[in-house]
Amino acid sequence: MASTLPKLTAVVHEATVKHTATVIFMHGFGDSGAGWAPVGEQLSEYVPHVKFIFPNAPALPITANGGMLSPAWYDIKSLSTIQHEQDEQGLLRSRQQVMELIREEVDRNNIPANRIVLGGFSQGCVLSLFAALTSEYRFAGVTALSGYLPLHTKIMTMVSDANRKTPIFWGHGDSDQVVKYKYGEQSVEFLKENKYPVRFHTYSRMGHSACPQELRDLLSFFQEVIPEELPVMAKA
């Protein structure tokens, strides 16, 4: 069934050789796809077969900011604890919009779901985890940067089995004061307790941002889970 929600706009960095894999990466609160697009351009040099899609979040009224409109994937009630009230309806709405982008890659561009990596930073990390764990598509991997697992008291009742074995790259700075490092630790522990294959990377003295080592690790992850497909040579 087609979505009744508006299609997300996005900054797209096309593959520079034959397109055989796609990374869909969601930005954090208050940002836009353009904020992460330079990372796609940088990494594309090493994974030229990968198309990078950086969607733009819509402007939403944010409770924690007194109702001010800001680019966001869901409303933020509070970040005082990982157990705060969460905007489930906002997550479901954004999930539906992201799934439309995925379906377009699969159905229109003929990229199998197992050649798609879903990821994000901060709020985008939260959304990518939620979308991947509840999706019927089996993805190549998930990249979770500086975020947390949403709806942890009920998410295990919402997950599908499709991505139970999908590798999850998790990166978090131990000096993050926005999404605290302990939230990442608690989320990773929860996922591991539920048998998800999470690789937790800690970045010393990194705040709520990315660093060169994290991007190098991210590149290695992409090269592992969506390697360039070599052409099959015809037999003589």
Q: Which among 13, 27, 44, 122 is annotated as catalytic?
A: 122
Q: b or e along 194-231 (b: 16 or more beta carbons within 10 Å of the residue's beta carbon)?
A: eebebebbebeebebbbeeebeebbbebbeebbeeeee
Q: Smallest Cα–Cα separation from 5: which of 119, 87, 95, 116?
A: 95
185-224 residue pLDDT tens: 999 999 999 999 999 999 999 999 999 999 999 999 999 9
Point out the catalytic residue in the list 31, 75, 87, 176.
Answer: 176
Active-site residue flag, 84: no
- CA count, 13 A, side-chain hemisphere, 93: 15
pTM of the model: 0.94
Average pLDDT over residues 56-75: 95
49: annotated active-site residue: no
Place of tokens 């998410």: 155
pLDDT at 233 over 90: no
The pLDDT of residue 78: 75
Average pLDDT over residues 2-29: 93
DSSP 64-98: GGTTEEEE-SS-----S-TTS---HHHHHHHHHHH
**Which pLDDT tens digit goes with each residue over 108-132?**
999 999 999 999 999 999 999 999 9
Which of 19, 152, 201, 208 is flagged as catalytic? Answer: 208
Question: Is 208 an active-site residue?
Answer: yes
Contact 91, 127 (CB under 8 A): yes
